Structure formats: C-alpha cells, structure tokens
Amino acid sequence: MTDGPSYGFDTLQIHAGARPDPATGARQVPIYQTTAYVFRDAEHAAALFNLQEVGYIYSRLTNPTVAALQERIATLEGGVGAVCCSSGHAAQIMALFPLMTPGCNVVASTRLYGGTVTQFSQTIKRFGWSAKFVDFDDLDALKAAIDDDTRAVFCEAIANPGGYITDLRAVADVADAAGVPLIVDNTSATPYLCRPIEHGATLVVHSTTKYLTGNGTVTGGCVVDSGTFDWSASNKFPSLSAPEPAYHGLRFHETFGPLAYTFHGIAIGLRDLGMTMNPQAAHYTLMGIETLSLRMDRHVENAVKIAKWLEADPRIDFVTYAGLESSPYFDRVKTVCPKGAGALFTFAVKGGYEACMKLVDSLEIFSHVANLGDTRSLIIHSASTTHRQLTPEQQKAAGAAPNVVRVSIGIEDADDLIADLDQALARATA
Ligand SMILES: *Cc1c(COP(=O)(O)O)cnc(C)c1O
C-alpha cells in the first residue's frame, strides 16, 4: 500500500507497513525466521555496515517482519519511525539511552506503572542515571524539577493503574520551554484512543505486550519518534548531535535529519544493547493490531458499563475510571482521548486488603494475572503484587492503595462480567 495521509485508522491498522511479499506475493506479512541476510556483494556489505545504505544485515538490528510492525506502529502514532524491542521495559531503556549520560536525570510522573517506578527509582541508577518523581498536575513543581541535567520528561497518557489522564499539551509545553523531549508511555491508551505526538510528545513508548497484541501471547515494546525534536539546538544530546566514534565520526542528526533518533536506536541501541524483538513476536503483534480499533471500542464500552455498575454498588467505596462523570479527569478525556478513557481502572472495596484478596479468589471469568490489555478480563490486587516493592506513600500516589484492586476490562459480554463481580463481591464482603 502506498502511504496516503488520507487513510483512516481502520485502514492503516491493517495495511500500514505491509506489502505483498516481493518474492512470493504472500498477502500476509511473512515471518522472516532468519538471523542473517545474504549480501549482494562485498561492496553492498561494506555500504550497509557504514550506514551508507539501508538494508538487512543481522536480525539483532533489523528483520523484515519486525520492520513491518515498526512502520505500522509509527504510522498509527503519527511518528516518522519506530524501533521495536523485546518488552515494554526494554523500550523504556531504549528510549532513554540516546538521551542520557551518567549524571543525567529524567523527570517522571508519580503516576506510573509500578514496574516503571522500580526501573526508574532503582535500576537506572546502575547506569549513573536518576529519576525525579513529581505530580504532573502541579506544573510549577514540574518546571522546578527540570534542571540542567534533565534529559527527558516521562509520563503515561492514561496512567496505569489509577485511570489518571495526563494533560499532555500542558506537560509538553513545559518540556518544550526547557528544551527537553517529552516521552509518553501510551500503552494503556493505544494510538486509537490517544495520539500523544498530536499533543506535543517527542517520543512515544509502548508495551506491545498489552492492547496492541491484545490477547496475552507475546511480550514486546516499541519506541516511536515524532521526528520533530531539534537534537542539535543545545549540547545536551551529544549521542545524536556530536560525531559518533563507532561510525567514523558520523553525526546522526546531521546525517539522518528527522530519522536520527530512529537510526540511532537501531545502529547503536539494538546493536549494543541487543533488546531485540523476534519475528514471531512481531507477527503476533501485527495480527493483533489489525483489530485494534474494534477491540478498543468494545473495551471502552464494557469499561463504562462496569464502572457505572460498580460506582452504584454499596459494597464499593470508589471507582477511579476517568470515563465516569464523578472523575476529576472526566473533562480531560474530551481533549486527550476523546474516543474513551481506556478499560483499565481501580476500585476500592469496603473491607480493605482482606476483602480484596477474597474478591480476587472468588471471581470466575476474571483472571488473576499481572497483565493488562487482554481480550479476557483481568484483575490484580496491586498492593500485594505489582506495587509490592513500593512504599505505602508510593502505592497511594500510584493509585494502588491496599483496599484497591485494578481491573483490565475485556471484550466479553458486559452482563456476564457484572454477574461475576456481583457474586465475588458477595463472597468477599460477606
Ligand atoms: C506492562 C507495562 C509496561 C512494561 O511492559 P513489559 O512489556 O511488561 O515490559 C510499561 N508501561 C506500562 C503502562 C505497562 O502497562
């Protein structure tokens, strides 16, 4: 398919990045299950290694099945390029890697996936990087946290697990004024519900493990570049603007322009960090994305029905779904994600920690798993699992207090899900 900016989302989710296979005419993107690619001749090989010609060398760097997925996600997000990797967490490291050096920091929202809080507050210290966590609703605090060593601002569009919606435009303006890129984790929203680049994001990261694949089969991640950031405007981003010794002094930004960040992600990031997505995983995710909009519409429809039912139930203290009029973020849905607030939210059960544990054990359709964005409905008690490593203050800030469970509403019959919650709540609060 030729790139047509006029194509709608439903067309692009099926066709972007996919062309009939030039060798066989195969209509579906083949799984190129190969490690290496034969060079046309010695000169071709030398040009590829010198980044003078783009082509396939070795599957740690590039693979045609993975490349199709990269192009599809970049197109759906409105970016110029994307790099897929082995998981969402790998994508986050890959996203920061070209920006950071020892001593640098990332200013991150307090409302993040629990694993990201741990990765940013603990593990990245081993690289000499650090993170400062601030409430992104407090724009003055955000401004104050950005210092001379800040190289990125990081948040989620719809924050897991609390259903919090970030005012992306306001945050992007602060990052812009400070001359640092805004990275948005768009996992919970997906490009169908929210396109962060349209709200000023520089980079978008995904755990493709979740809604993009959609059925809980493979882990994967992706970093999408808007192509709009001027990496040479300051001396803050030497990996992209200064001569690269590993490629004979080539300057990525000068040489590749808007594709500098994407090329760096492949030529340095995947080459040396090796967090590569395999072609089987790319295949499953390509299959999933074909039905993304259909699934997301149903996820949202079910989530609204179930959140409303829970909110009206006397056994429930509160529901944090931004799609409810009672949510302080209800108005932000209209500007940030007008097609819906996703299908991920938390609710507090009267009876606290013990009742939550009993609820999780009593459900029959909902699965108790540490995952989200599956066709199946999922539930987890975050305080005893994914957010266990956090302090009680961090748990509360992340929307994962002990009396709260998180649900990822699937695409089953909403009435069946409500009946399941009803019987389990009866047992949990008996
Ligand atoms: C799951 C998740 C991640 C991490 O992704 P993995 O594929 O599990 O490594 C990051 N951010 C969010 C919002 C997630 O839901």
> What percent of the chain lies above the pLDDT cut of 70?
98
3-state helix, strand, coil in the chain (%, to 5): 40, 15, 45
Per the document, the length of the chain is 430
Phi and psi for 198 in degrees, rounded to 5?
A: -70, -15
The answer, yes or no, to whether any atom of ligand 1 lies below 6 A from the CB of 373, is no
Homologous superfamily, domain 292-428: Aspartate Aminotransferase, domain 1 (3.90.1150.10)
**How many helices and strands in the chain, by DSSP H and E?**
18, 14
Task: With CA atoms as reference, report the closest residue to 106 among 86, 123, 83, 82.
Answer: 123
Q: pLDDT tens digit string along 338-396?
A: 999 999 999 999 999 899 999 999 999 999 998 899 999 999 998 888 777 778 787 77
Q: At what angle do helices 88-96 and 114-121 cross, to 10 degrees?
A: 40
Predicted pLDDT of residue 288: 98
pLDDT of residue 160: 74
Whether residue 1 has pLDDT greater than 90: no
Best of 113, 123, 165, 380 for a ligand 1 pocket test (most atoms within 8 Å of beta carbon):
113
**Helix, coil or strand: residue 82:** strand
Residue 207 CA, ligand 1 centroid: distance in Å: 5
Residue intervals of the chain classified under CATH 3.40.640.10 are 9-19+28-288
Residue 221 CB–ligand 1 contact under 6 Å: yes
Q: Is the distance from CB of 394 to CB of 425 less than 8 angstroms?
A: no
CATH 3.40.640.10 for the 9-19+28-288 domain, yes or no: yes
pLDDT tens track for 300-351: 999 999 999 999 999 999 999 999 999 999 999 999 999 999 999 999 999 9
Q: Is 113 in the pocket of ligand 1 (CB under 6 A)?
A: yes
Phi/psi of residue 57, each to 5°? -115, -55
pLDDT (mean) for 204-211: 98
CA distances from 231 to 154, 170, 198, 257 (A): 17, 21, 19, 9
Residues of the chain with CATH 3.90.1150.10: 292-428
pLDDT digits (tens, 9 = 90+) for 183-200: 999 999 999 999 999 999
* Ligand 1 in reach of 207 Cβ (< 6 A): yes
Distance 204 CA to ligand 1 centre (A): 13
pLDDT, averaged across the chain? 94
Token duo for residue 304: 């609204």
Least confident of 51-65, 76-90, 125-139, 329-343: 51-65
Is the pLDDT at 2 greater than 60? The verdict is: no
- Is pLDDT of 79 > 70? yes
- Report which protein residue has its CA nearest ligand 1's atom 5: 88
C-alpha 19 – ligand 1 centre gap (Å): 29
